Amino acid sequence: MKKSELIAKLEGAKEVTSVVSIDLVLAALGMLEESNPVVKPEYSISAKLFTRVVDIVEDSLNNMRDSRGVDLSSAEFELDWNNCISLTDITLDTHYIYNEIREGLENAFDIEDIDEEEAIEAQIEAEQPASEE
């Protein structure tokens, strides 16, 4: 039931009687459909391209040959109850990881150097129907 339908039913009940039970209102509110606003993503890509991007990111992470992505001096260990040493914390060099992923993506795609305003104007022009002359 939608909000407008609920309001119409309550208005109808109001014409019949001036007293509406709380149970009736609660039951009607329980029947209301939850309205989840649809959030449209800013950009859209094909499933094939998305899979390619994920593969490039995975390859970039797998191809990091040294331990530069991890700050070994930040490692924290703990001795468990059964005398086993466990790694409890370590710091990642997110800047290095970011650059590795970015480099992999830049090598895989032709990056156009176009500013956002020009891109919007080009998109608007492309969406407008061709004028007849």
CA 50/CA 57 separation, integer angstroms: 11
Instruction: Name residues whose C-beta falls within 8 Å of residue 92's C-beta, 6 or more positions apart in sequence.
Output: 69, 70, 71
Torsion-angle region of 83 (φ positive above 0: left; ψ -120 to 50: alpha; else: beta): left
The strand pairing partners of 78, in sequence order, are 86
Residue 66: predicted pLDDT = 67
Structure tokens at 129: 């129907």
Q: Convert the pLDDT of each residue in 66-93 to its tens digit.
A: 667 788 888 899 998 888 999 888 888 8
Give the Cα separation of 67 and 97 in Å (integer). Answer: 11
Q: What is the pLDDT of residue 80?
A: 87
Residue with tokens 């499933």: 47
Give me the pLDDT at residue 133, please: 42
**pLDDT for residue 132:** 47
Tens digit of each residue's pLDDT (9 = 90 or more) over 23-48:
777 777 777 666 666 777 777 888 89
- Identify which of 60, 77, 78 has the alpha carbon closest to the alpha carbon of residue 69: 60
Quick: pLDDT tens for 98-124.
888 898 888 888 777 666 667 777 777
The phi, psi pair for 109, rounded to 5°, reads -125, 150
Q: What pLDDT is attached to residue 114?
A: 63
- Give the pLDDT confidence score for residue 18 in this predicted structure: 66
At 55, the pLDDT band (50, 70, 90 cuts) reads very high
Give me the amino acid identity at 94: T
Q: Which residues pair with 86 in a beta bridge?
A: 78
